[in-house]
Structure 1
């Protein structure tokens, strides 16, 4: 696997971001994490909105502040994204957790999911989050194997959403 790093949105070129979004849209899959989705704003306005969210400014009621990072390679191609929530609400405690991440469809099965979660855990620790909750659907073995490979231990109290079992993992 090539060298990769997490960068904040202001370090991602607009063209690289647009290419990332176009691939997700062409796949007809839901963009994960949702925080990386375009919000109908110009790119520079969206970058500013992400910065404000990280500072807790202008967050909708019931939401929490969070940090968005993009996983990029040496050529600045956006391979994936991660959203780290600074604290948990009751719904996030049940499903969602502290970290939500996704790898663009063409870059999967290359080890990037494991790497983005590993790097995200380092960022979470910088934010003072020592015990991290990560969740995934039971029918997504790639995701739960990634979480387990990063030291996740399964909470005996799984959740359920729309009839789907949601696995809950803690990583210290």
Structure 2
């Protein structure tokens, strides 16, 4: 078979184009990959020596690593890889307990609060939320009952 004159240069150009790289302008979207426990400074500030393991778990969440050889040590890890830039952020926070299961000390990237007066820190973070007022006699006031809904109205009109 005889190829036209321009077929060979076109095939060479297509082959060379396949070997080139894609310009940085045209790229796929990459999501942020986040793993581990997100610990904020506010969460760590709630920790006090003497808290039980359940209280620490309530504040910080379930630890990523609980070692069977070090039962009094919990490790919290956080790893974030930014999709667009590829930079990686890692954090590590370790909680140590004494033999009675009470919080002894912490170590890691997030620092605990350095206030000596725990009441001042608690009051600064405490806020009051009004959930509604109750009558003085203790009786509960119920809302009026709702009428039949959409399907209830249809069923009543059909005679059911």
Q: TM bucket by the smaller chain? A: under 0.3
Alignment TM-score, normalising by the size of structure 1: 0.23
Greater helix fraction, Structure 1 or Structure 2 = 1
Greater strand fraction, Structure 1 or Structure 2 = 1
Alignment TM-score, normalising by the size of structure 2: 0.24
